């Protein structure tokens, strides 16, 4: 009602913020299932400018709760994706309040990565760094897997995305391997990480690649993958055990086969006088 009467209300901004506070401040962003019917209309787009210009963390969380909420009678707001460009511009509110942090995480749960492609990867990485997200506050594992895969495979992600988010991606994939289905894991990422000597990130990425290999026996293991895996093991011998653990959690049979391949190949090349070199 406030949105529809916006042009005739002198105190419309205050009324809108108050109505969102009364309606949604009590709702947990992580589980915003409500027993109510919300009707989303075109005039609700006016909320975005008003709420984000207010600069109030809890008001923004109220808006995100209202737009991501669902019930037996309604789905999240059909224009939810338009919030992406607003969210990448609120770095001045960091560190985010716990409620706003969780509301943004739930927002990403709902829309995935495609809508963020339009706002620039630098802004997305800046937003991500302010979230300090972990696997315990993610509801939609599939959505976050696709979101992080999109980030880490970008040139900006390879260079600037914090190592903790590469680790989080491995955790998500190990937890729900099916999240890899329908997502591309490009070979260029491996080479870029090796060239940049980002060995910690490369370890995580190799874990993801080998998990994907273990899930599809028809995928062949090419020479470049073997080459880069050996290059990683030369720099990080402990990665052998970590990759075995990750793959073993997803597919124990593949892990047993792969462990022999990892360890025996490494021994032959580096410990037993093998002639092959990855330099």
* Contact between 180 and 212 (Cβ < 8 Å): yes
Q: Taking 50 as the threshold, does the pLDDT of residue 278 lie above it? A: no
Rounded to an integer, the average pLDDT of 161-176 is 94
Alpha helical stretches, state H, the chain: 12-24, 46-54, 57-68, 84-87, 98-111, 121-129, 141-152, 155-160, 163-175, 187-195, 199-215, 223-235, 239-250, 252-266
Cis peptide leading into residue 95 (ω within 30°): yes
On the CB side of 202, how many CA atoms lie within 13 Å of its CA? 27
The residue among 91, 110, 103, 9 whose CA lies nearest residue 50 is 9
pLDDT at 215: 80
The pLDDT value recorded for residue 260 is: 57
Q: Which whole number is the average pLDDT over 117-127?
A: 85
92 and 50 Cβ atoms separated by less than 8 Å: no
Structure tokens at 195: 């060239």
pLDDT tens, 179-205? 888 888 888 999 999 999 999 999 999
What whole-number distance in Å separates Cα of residue 158 and Cα of residue 156? 6
Please tell me the pTM assigned to this model: 0.84
Q: What is the pLDDT of residue 202?
A: 95
- Residue 279's pLDDT is 40
Asked if 57 contacts 96 with a C-beta cutoff of 8 angstroms, the reply is yes
Residue 107's pLDDT is 92
pLDDT tens figures, 213-271: 888 766 666 788 888 888 899 898 889 889 988 988 887 666 555 555 677 777 777 76
Q: Is the pLDDT of residue 276 over 50?
A: no
Region 42-59: mean pLDDT is 92
Domain ranges of the chain: 173-279
For 87-136, the DSSP string reads HTT-GGGPSPPHHHHHHHHHHHHHH-SGGGGGT-HHHHHHHHHTT---GG
Residues in the chain: 279
Average pLDDT over residues 127-155: 90
pLDDT for res 97: 94
Contacts of residue 122, defined as CB under 8 A and 6 or more positions apart, other chains included, come to 156, 160
Share the mean pLDDT of the chain: 86
Mean pLDDT in residue range 92-102: 93
Which range among 65-69, 143-147, 231-235, 262-266 shows the weakest confidence by mean pLDDT? Answer: 262-266
Q: How far apart are CA 278 and CA 206, in angstroms?
A: 16
CB 244 within 8 A of CB 258: yes
Whether residue 157 contacts residue 125, with contact meaning beta carbons closer than 8 Å, is answered with: yes
* Secondary structure of residue 78 in the 3-state scheme: coil
Q: Once rounded to an integer, what is the mean pLDDT over residues 155-179?
A: 92
State the burial class of residue 271 (Cβ atoms within 10 Å of its Cβ: 0-12, 13-18, 19+): exposed
pLDDT at 166 over 50: yes
pLDDT surpassing 50 at residue 275: no
């Amino acid at each position: 009602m406030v949105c529809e009467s916006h042009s005739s209300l002198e105190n419309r901004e205050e009324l809108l913020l108050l109505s969102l506070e009364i309606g949604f401040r009590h709702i947990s962003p992580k589980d915003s299932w409500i027993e109510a019917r919300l009707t989303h209309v075109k005039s609700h787009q006016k909320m975005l400018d008003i709420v984000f210009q207010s600069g109030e963390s809890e008001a923004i969380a109220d808006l995100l709760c209202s737009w991501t909420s669902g019930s037996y009678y309604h789905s999240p707001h059909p224009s939810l994706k338009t919030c992406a460009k607003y969210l990448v511009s609120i770095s001045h509110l960091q560190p985010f309040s716990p409620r706003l942090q969780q509301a943004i995480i739930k927002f990403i749960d709902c829309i995935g990565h495609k809508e963020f492609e339009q706002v620039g990867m630098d802004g997305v990485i800046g937003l991500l760094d302010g979230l300090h997200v972990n696997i315990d506050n993610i509801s939609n594992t599939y959505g976050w897997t696709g979101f992080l895969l999109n980030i880490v495979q970008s040139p900006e992600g390879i260079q600037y995305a914090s190592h903790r988010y590469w680790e989080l991606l491995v955790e998500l994939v190990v937890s729900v391997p099916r999240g890899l289905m329908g997502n591309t894991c490009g070979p260029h990422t491996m080479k870029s990480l090796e060239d940049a000597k980002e060995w910690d990130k490369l370890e995580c990425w190799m874990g993801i690649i080998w998990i994907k290999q273990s899930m599809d026996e028809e995928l062949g293991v090419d020479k470049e993958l073997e080459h880069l895996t050996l290059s990683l093991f030369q720099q990080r011998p402990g990665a052998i055990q970590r990759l075995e653990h990750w793959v073993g959690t997803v597919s124990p049979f593949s892990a047993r086969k792969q462990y022999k391949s990892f360890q025996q190949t490494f021994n032959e090349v580096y410990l037993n006088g093998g002639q092959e070199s990855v330099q």
